[in-house]
Amino acid sequence: MVTIPDVEVALQVTLSNEKFNKSIMAWGVEFSDLTCVTPSPRWYGPDEEGRRLMKVHCFSRQGTPNYYMRPIEGSVVKVDIDNKKILKITDTGRGIPIPKAKNTDYRFEKHVPPPYMEPINPISIEQPKGPSVKIEDGHTIKWANWVFPLKPDQRASMIISRAMVRDQETGELRSVMYKGFATELFVPYMDLDERWYFRTYMDGSEYGIGVLSMSLVPLNDCPRNSYYMDGVFVGVDGRPYVQPNMICVFEKYAGDISWRHSELPFMDSQVGLSGMLMVKGVPYENIQQMPLKNAESSPLVSENIVGVVHDHFITFHLDMHMDNGMNNSVVKVHLGKEESRFPRKSYLRAIREVALWEEDAKIKLKLYDPSEFHVVKTLGRSRLGNPTGYKVVPGGNAASLLDVNDPPQIRAAFTNNQIWVTPYNRSEQWASGLFVCQSKGEDTLADWSDRNREIENRDIVLWYTLGFHHIPCQEDFPVMPTVSSSFELNNFLEVNPILHAMPNFEKDLPVLKFFLEYKSLSRHIDAELA
């Protein structure tokens, strides 16, 4: 992965270069206001073979903590970090002004409330008897009938392992999943400019999703009664360090009806995207000034700033173990249209097909050619004789549209399909490969799956990729609102498990009563209420 010393070397070499410093002074930027970063250390062709290269891009933080919104566009430095040498300085953006700091500060205390913005009152979830979540040994989560260890991870951010659920009918503790985690986060930007084409990130394997995590803020990131978990990671010098409060565990009231006489699924958001746009400086302050082609592909989000179109793909590794059974199979349940003469013209028929080989389980989701996908225990049966297993229920999704021979897509070939199934192999945990930084995509999930191994009645791993296309809009500036999507695994238990959940009644919740006398209206009240 990219390490802090790697970044420090790239920045030291850049900032000590006389030509670079002269170019920054020509921009009129004070060095005390200069911030430089090293985006996306990628391999792009034979001229980058055998070298560890990083590109340095700089911003002005004058007047704002949100320096990403003030790029010094056109200034890119290519550094060989092993030889501590600059290979190329690009400074081609002289006609592009540095965007102004106005309206870029996202801090609440710096904002004057808009005149027509109604205030939103604080919201708190009542748990008068305390949370139902129990944490044992600092990492084992127990909630309702579920038990699973949760581990902060330097690369994946967090890993769920040995997940089990107690069957409400038999009382038996049944295994569900041996290991599940986000194995990679791929974010390619869609700009072919010399200063932009290389920005195609692998956040998990190049930087570490856990390493990039921030401490969660009580009452804002996580509600009351949350349990906070630290990550203990290893630095480049081999010493451990603590990443505090990087995970919080809590019960969430989603506002969904648990069940009624209806057959509508309610989806819980599993993945949420927010943060800063990666913006590009342009000479335009209004869309009328832009060439039509540019305005359509890179929307103007503020004066002299466009949001570059990009994708997000999160690939999950799901090593399912149903009822301690390591021998599982994948069943495609295809919905095919059949013609009819009377009284209907057509109907749908479910056709089940067991995937025998890896090639059979490379799935591209199709709206007009739909299927369900079941991971089943080969010999397991419910009391009605149905196969024991889990149904994969996709939510909103997006597929990669890049050419399969495009360098970033070669490295991210695991996004060529939304579903893959492979036989378990201890060395095949990371969809982008074990060593990814500046790799050429020679060790990805796509390469493993091309062996076309048997997957029927085997110890198998299911891989699911959840995608977002992001065409930035003006509301994404200066900080994006959260966008969520999800997928579900269900249909494992004998009956609907929510049927046994106790409903809530008014008597279960506390009623607060305050008796205040006129003479008591003093600081004492503030102390009591606090």
DSSP string, 381-406: E-TTSPEEEEEEEE-S-----S-TTS
CA distances (Å), origin 195, targets 2, 58, 99, 421: 20, 12, 17, 38
pLDDT in tens, 19-44: 999 999 999 999 999 999 988 777 77
In the prediction, which pLDDT does 295 show?
64
pLDDT value at residue 516? 44
CB 190 within 8 A of CB 296: no
Question: Rounded to two decimals, what is the model's pTM?
Answer: 0.86
Angle between helices 18-26 and 4-15 (to 10 degrees): 70
Query: Which residue is associated with the tokens 């989000």?
Result: 301
What's the pLDDT score for residue 264? 30
Confidence (pLDDT) at 26: 92
Per-residue model confidence (pLDDT) at position 257? 53
| 116 alpha carbon, distance to own chain's centre | 34
For the chain, which residues score pLDDT lower than 50? 259-269, 513-530
Question: Given the structure tokens 């889990």, which residue do they identify?
Answer: 390
Residue with tokens 């021979």: 405
- Determine the residue type at 280: K
Residues 6+ apart with CB under 8 A from 336: 348, 349, 351
Record the tokens describing residue 38, joined without a space.
């090293």
| Look-up of token digits 């969809």 | 431
C-alpha closest to that of 312 among 400, 396, 394, 393:
400
Q: How far apart are CA 230 and CA 251, in angstroms?
A: 19
Residue 369 structure tokens:
């050619």
> How buried is 393 (Cβ within 10 angstroms: 0-12 exposed, 13-18 middle, 19+ buried)?
middle
As given in the structure block, the two tokens for residue 12 are: 């030291």
Task: Report how far residue 151's alpha carbon sits from residue 138's, in angstroms, rounded to the nearest whole number.
Answer: 10
- As given in the structure block, the two tokens for residue 252 are 């969430």
pLDDT number for residue 256: 56
Collapsed DSSP state (helix, strand, coil) of residue 151: strand
- Measured CA to CA, the distance from residue 349 to residue 336 in angstroms comes to 5
**β-strands 157-166, 146-153: how paired?**
antiparallel
Q: How far is C-alpha 140 from the geometric centre of its chain's CA atoms?
A: 23
Cα–Cα distance, 509 to 147 (Å, whole number):
27
Residue 267 tokens, joined: 């989806």
Task: Give me the amino acid identity at 338.
Answer: E
